């Protein structure tokens, strides 16, 4: 989820939003496509998706020993298969690769590993897994190949600006392939077809494509014909190519068996490179390569956040989060176990946010790894989970607060100098956790009435890029009684990243832009309390509270709640006082239209809260979210500590998940120990006609008493170590 680069802003002419829902998949022969997708295979895949419950939607657990070149002579295949079967996994990923072959391939330039000899290592692993009833997914890596392939097929590879093939950064013997070339439509399908013809596999998977975090920059002959790297026009082509390749590979998977399918390495949180909504239409299994934190300043909730992204686009289809047993971070140790507590919290977040856990270890030196500390913890955890599977089969999220993700904003918006995109999200996320709100992520391309009907309010944390149509959808949502909280440059840009004259939501929010962004030189602007309001609860004995680091000035409104006191110098203190103690520039705009409650902050308040840590801003944000969300949240959890909570309707009834983040390593990994928190009092509204017969704590493996009133249930979780799940059995 950490951004690794930012695209530059472009000023191209507006183009229509790419249409979603295009299931017919028209192929344009003028594009860089060299293999036709068999029409029957495509039609077959659609038919299968519509008429059967695919096996992969029933997967609860997944395992992978990521194979090394050395494994054919060191990994104990029987021990390997026994281990994964003992974790009650439903599927294992086994490498055929593409960089190094793990079987006797005949595909040119698919180099056999130097320890493979005459052995069919993939075949042995596949057979051992099948003997134990495990599904086998053939794992490929289409991202790198060797110098002999560069010589024979120079057109397959990424080029730098000087037209040199691009070396892999860690091992210069390898070169980076380009996704717009025939490498992806000739070489990769050739391996897929060969593996299909030889083995009893259940699906195909590519690691390392599509790229995570940042869009590719390549100067090969194909890419030179594309719009500039980093532009929205490039993104259109990138998405079209990605969907094309996905469908091509899926059609090849289905040539083996109708129930087989293709999926790829995804993740990147809200900053996914591929259009998540387009992908959500074809993606049967959302595999999150979101393996863990390192020693950097990454908050603990990265895995739960990824789960929220999957929920926003997958509509109940399979999502897994790959949890590394190996030491993630910088530097990393691929073959040594990491903190057990950190790994366990990542599993906890996977389950709480509705994904399936996936245990990932690298290499089988000395049988199953020289460091075997990574074997038992996942075994214990997965077997605990298996005892309670029925409570992890979710039907729907119970949250009634939506947080708009803004995928285009994450990829293309250029924040003010010194600001990072992730700070807006980290800030709002922290405020939501501190305020103990239950919320879902909502993708900007899913704002139709059917998508928003369940939400009483939406939060838009600097969602700068919104189309006219999306602004219209938000207006209709407000007209129907929905509430909004928006910050800073929300709706200042179109979906093509063109800056508007005024906010796209100006009328809805009752605001008008009155100037360009004002930053700060030392002492940021203040907000003067003009009149009492619920969003100011807890502020007493002061006329001033902090504003934010940046703001976009807006025109005066009637009876503002907070007004701007413009910033001034922090040093010298002699000059540290406001030159203009009172203005009519609003620091917040609060409106109520019937049932609908609207709040707009002209400042980057969530980001400034994250950067400064200021508790006034945290309070103001939480008060504001609480006010727009309205009374009667579906679930409340009262108690000490910083938690993240989820509530689901499940196959067995309902489940309330509580993750305990109260930990000195909450903002910087890894967790070293858990700090248990005391009683958490849960109150939940039940849908009409539903009765709860039993409340079972799944981690403690004990029942707790409960009381039910008219349509509500109350109970107390006495203690949460790292994680607790209150399973509500319901008829
Ligand atoms: Zn290229």
CA of 536 to the centre of ligand 1 (A): 54
Determine the distance separating the centroid of ligand 1 and the alpha carbon of 178, expressed in angstroms.
5
Tell me what percent of the residues of the chain surpass a pLDDT of 70: 93
CA of 33 to the centre of ligand 1 (A): 14
Distance 276 CA to ligand 1 centre (A): 22
CA of 179 to the centre of ligand 1 (A): 7
For ligand 1, the distance from its centroid to the CA atom of residue 303, given in whole angstroms, is 32
Compute the half-sphere exposure of residue 464: CA atoms within 13 Å on the CB side of its CA: 24
Is the model more confident about 7 or about 305? 305
- Distance, CA of 367 to CA of 369 (rounded, Å): 6
Rounded to the nearest whole angstrom, what is the distance from the C-alpha of residue 223 to the centroid of ligand 1? 4
Q: pLDDT tier at 52 (50, 70, 90 boundaries)?
A: low
Reply yes or no on whether the pLDDT at 21 is more than 80.
no
Q: What contacts 688, CB < 8 A, 6 or more positions away?
A: 711
CA atoms within 13 A on the CB side of 722: 21
Q: Which of 378-382, 504-508, 628-632 has the lowest mean pLDDT?
A: 628-632
Alpha-carbon distance 25 to 279, whole Å? 13
Q: How far is the CA of 388 from the centre of ligand 1 (A)?
A: 48
Higher pLDDT, 653 or 32: 653
The pLDDT value recorded for residue 51 is 52
Among residues of the chain, what percentage have pLDDT more than 90?
A: 90
The rounded Å distance from CA 21 to ligand 1 centre is 28
Sheet with 401-404: strands ordered across = 440-442, 401-404, 457-460, 483-487, 596-601, 586-593, 562-565, 526-529, 544-546
> What average pLDDT does the segment 502-530 reach?
97
pLDDT of residue 295: 87
212 CA distance to ligand 1 middle (Å): 16
Q: How far is the CA of 216 from the centre of ligand 1 (A)?
A: 8
List CB contacts of 659: < 8 A, sequence separation 6 or more: 301, 304, 345, 348, 349, 352, 643, 644, 645, 722, 723
- Mean predicted confidence (pLDDT) in 342-364: 98
Phi and psi at 425, nearest 5°, equal -75, -45
How confident is the model at residue 572, as a pLDDT? 96
CB-based burial, 623-650: b 16+ in 10 Å, e otherwise? bbbbbbbbeebbbbbebebbbbbbbbbb
Q: Taking residues 191-201, what's their average pLDDT? A: 98
Ligand 1 mean position, distance from CA 107 (Å): 22
Q: What's the rounded mean pLDDT across residues 167-191?
A: 98
Q: What are phi and psi of 126, to 5 degrees?
A: -60, -45
Average pLDDT over residues 613-628: 98
In this predicted structure, the answer to whether residue 9 has a pLDDT above a threshold of 60 is no
Write down the pLDDT at residue 418.
94
Rounded distance from Cα 100 to ligand 1 centre (Å): 22
Model pLDDT, residue 284: 95
Phi, psi (deg, nearest 5) at residue 265:
-70, 125
CA of 160 to the centre of ligand 1 (A): 9
Structure tokens at 578: 């406001």
Nearest of 311, 315, 254, 243 to residue 282 by alpha carbon: 243
Confidence of residue 33 (pLDDT cuts 50, 70, 90): very low
pLDDT over 50 (residue 118): yes
User: Ligand 1 mean position to 616 CA, how many Å?
Assistant: 49
Residue 171 CA to ligand 1 center (angstroms) comes to 20
pLDDT value of position 30:
33
**In the prediction, which pLDDT does 38 show?**
36
The residue-averaged pLDDT of 369-380 equals 98
CA of 32 to the centre of ligand 1 (A): 11
Q: Sorting pLDDT into bands at 50, 70 and 90, what band is 46?
A: very low
Handedness of CA 403, 406, 411, 417 (dihedral sign): negative
139 CA to centre of ligand 1 in angstroms? 23
Distance from the CA of 405 to the center of ligand 1, in angstroms?
29
- The Å distance, Cα 233 to ligand 1 centre, comes to 16
Q: What is the pLDDT of residues 156-173, one digit of tens each?
A: 999 999 999 999 999 999
Q: Determine the pLDDT at residue 332.
A: 95
- For the cut 60, the answer to whether the pLDDT of residue 596 exceeds it is yes
CA of 207 to the centre of ligand 1 (A): 18
pLDDT at 393: 96
Average pLDDT, rounded, for the chain: 93
Distance 214 CA to ligand 1 centre (A): 15
In the reported structure, the alpha carbon of residue 260 is separated from the centroid of ligand 1 by a whole-number distance in angstroms of 30
Centroid of ligand 1 to alpha carbon of 158 (angstroms)? 5
Ligand 1 center to residue 155 CA distance, Å? 8
Question: Quick check: 614 pLDDT over 70?
Answer: yes
Predicted local confidence at residue 521, as pLDDT? 86
Banded model confidence at residue 36, pLDDT cuts 50, 70, 90: very low
Distance 221 CA to ligand 1 centre (A): 7
If you measure from the C-alpha of residue 238 to the centroid of ligand 1, how many angstroms do you get, rounded to a whole number?
A: 11
pLDDT over 70 at 7, yes or no: no
CA 225 to ligand 1 center in whole angstroms = 9
Q: Can you give the pLDDT at residue 283? A: 95
Q: Is pLDDT at 8 greater than 50 in this prediction?
A: no
Confidence (pLDDT) at 24: 29
Residue that has been written with the tokens 């006797």 in this structure:
104
Task: Compute, in angstroms, the gap from residue 709 CA to the centroid of ligand 1.
Answer: 63
**Residue 704, phi then psi, degrees to nearest 5:** -125, 150
CA of 190 to the centre of ligand 1 (A): 20
The alpha carbon of 237 and the centre of ligand 1 are apart by a number of angstroms equal to: 12
Could you tell me the distance, in angstroms and rounded to a whole number, from the CA of residue 578 to the centre of ligand 1?
55
Distances (CA, A) of 330 to 112, 172, 294, 387: 30, 20, 6, 36
Q: What's the CA gap between 223 and 179, in Å, rounded? A: 9
Distance 219 CA to ligand 1 centre (A): 6
* Ligand 1 midpoint to CA 364 (Å): 35
Q: Which of 55, 56, 90, 45 is nearest to 319 (CA)?
A: 56
Centroid of ligand 1 to alpha carbon of 210 (angstroms): 14
pLDDT at 661: 98
- Calculate how far, in angstroms, residue 88's C-alpha sits from the geometric centre of ligand 1: 42
Distance 211 CA to ligand 1 centre (A): 13
Query: 42-56, 338-352, 385-399, 402-416: which has the minimum mean pLDDT?
Result: 42-56
pTM: 0.92
pLDDT digits (tens, 9 = 90+) for 403-428: 999 999 999 999 999 999 999 999 99
CA–centroid distance, 156 to ligand 1, in Å, is 8
C-alpha closest to that of 364 among 354, 379, 351, 374? 374
CA of 175 to the centre of ligand 1 (A): 12
């Amino acid at each position: 989820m950490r951004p690794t680069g930012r695209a530059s802003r472009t000023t191209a002419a507006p183009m229509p939003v790419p249409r979603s829902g295009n299931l017919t998949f028209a192929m344009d022969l003028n594009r860089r496509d060299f293999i036709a997708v068999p029409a029957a295979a495509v039609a077959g895949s659609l038919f299968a998706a519509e008429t059967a419950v695919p096996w992969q939607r029933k997967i609860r657990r997944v395992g992978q020993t990521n194979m090394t070149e050395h494994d054919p002579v060191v990994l104990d295949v029987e021990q390997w298969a026994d281990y994964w079967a003992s974790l009650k996994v439903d599927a294992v990923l086994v490498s055929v690769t593409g960089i190094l072959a793990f079987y006797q391939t005949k595909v040119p330039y698919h180099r056999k590993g130097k320890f493979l000899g005459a052995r069919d290592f993939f075949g042995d692993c596949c057979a051992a897994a099948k003997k134990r009833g495990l599904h086998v997914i053939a794992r490929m890596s289409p991202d790198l190949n060797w110098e002999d392939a560069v010589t024979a097929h120079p057109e397959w590879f990424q080029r730098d600006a000087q037209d040199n093939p691009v070396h892999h950064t860690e091992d210069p013997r390898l070169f980076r392939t380009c996704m717009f070339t025939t490498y992806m439509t000739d070489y990769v399908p050739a391996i897929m077809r060969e593996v299909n013809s030889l083995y009893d596999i259940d699906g195909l998977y590519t690691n390392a494509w599509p790229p995570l975090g940042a869009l590719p920059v390549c100067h090969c002959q194909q890419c030179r014909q594309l719009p500039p790297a980093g532009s929205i026009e490039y993104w259109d082509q990138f998405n079209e190519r990605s969907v094309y390749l996905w469908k091509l590979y899926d059609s090849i998977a289905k040539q083996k068996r109708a129930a087989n399918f293709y999926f790829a390495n995804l993740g990147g949180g809200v900053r996914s490179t591929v259009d998540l909504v387009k992908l959500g239409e074809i993606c049967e299994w959302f595999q999150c390569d979101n393996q863990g934190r390192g020693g950097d300043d990454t908050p603990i909730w990265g895995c739960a956040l990824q789960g929220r992204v999957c929920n926003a686009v997958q509509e109940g289809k399979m999502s897994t989060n790959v949890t590394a047993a190996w030491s993630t971070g910088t530097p990393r140790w691929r073959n040594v176990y990491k903190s057990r507590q950190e790994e366990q919290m990542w599993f906890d977040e996977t389950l709480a946010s509705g994904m399936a856990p996936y245990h990932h270890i690298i290499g089988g030196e000395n049988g199953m790894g020289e460091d075997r500390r990574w074997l038992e913890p996942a075994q214990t955890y997965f077997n605990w989970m298996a005892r309670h599977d029925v409570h992890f089969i979710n039907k729907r999220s119970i949250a009634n607060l939506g947080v708009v993700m803004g995928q285009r904003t994450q990829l293309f918006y250029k924040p003010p100098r010194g600001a990072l995109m992730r700070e807006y999200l980290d800030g709002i996320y922290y405020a939501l956790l501190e305020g103990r709100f239950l919320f879902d992520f909502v993708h900007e391309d899913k704002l139709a009435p059917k998508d928003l009907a369940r939400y009483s309010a939406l939060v838009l944390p600097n969602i700068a890029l919104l189309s006219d149509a999306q602004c219209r959808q938000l207006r209709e949502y407000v007209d129907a009684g929905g509430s909004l909280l928006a910050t800073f440059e929300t709706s200042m840009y179109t979906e093509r990243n063109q800056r508007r004259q005024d906010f796209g939501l100006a009328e809805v929010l009752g605001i008008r832009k009155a100037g360009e962004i004002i930053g700060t030189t030392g002492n940021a602007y203040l907000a003067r309390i003009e009149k009492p309001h619920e969003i100011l609860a807890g502020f007493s004995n002061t006329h001033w509270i902090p504003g934010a680091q940046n703001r976009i000035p807006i025109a005066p409104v009637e009876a503002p709640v907070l007004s701007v006191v413009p910033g001034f110098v922090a040093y010298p203190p002699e000059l540290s006082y406001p030159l203009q103690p009172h203005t009519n520039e609003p620091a917040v705009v609060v409106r109520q239209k019937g049932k609908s409650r609207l709040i707009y902050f002209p400042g980057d308040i969530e980001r400034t809260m994250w950067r400064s840590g200021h508790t006034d801003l945290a309070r103001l944000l939480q008060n504001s979210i609480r006010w727009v969300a309205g009374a009667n949240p579906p679930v409340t959890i009262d108690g000490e500590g910083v938690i993240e909570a989820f509530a689901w309707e499940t196959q067995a009834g309902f489940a309330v998940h509580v993750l305990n983040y109260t930990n000195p390593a909450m903002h910087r990994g890894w967790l070293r120990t858990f700090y248990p928190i005391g009683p958490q009092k849960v109150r939940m509204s039940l849908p009409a006609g539903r009765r709860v017969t039993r409340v079972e704590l799944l981690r403690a493996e004990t029942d707790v008493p409960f009381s039910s009133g008219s349509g509500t249930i109350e109970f107390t979780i006495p203690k949460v170590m790292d994680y607790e799940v209150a399973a509500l059995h319901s008829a």
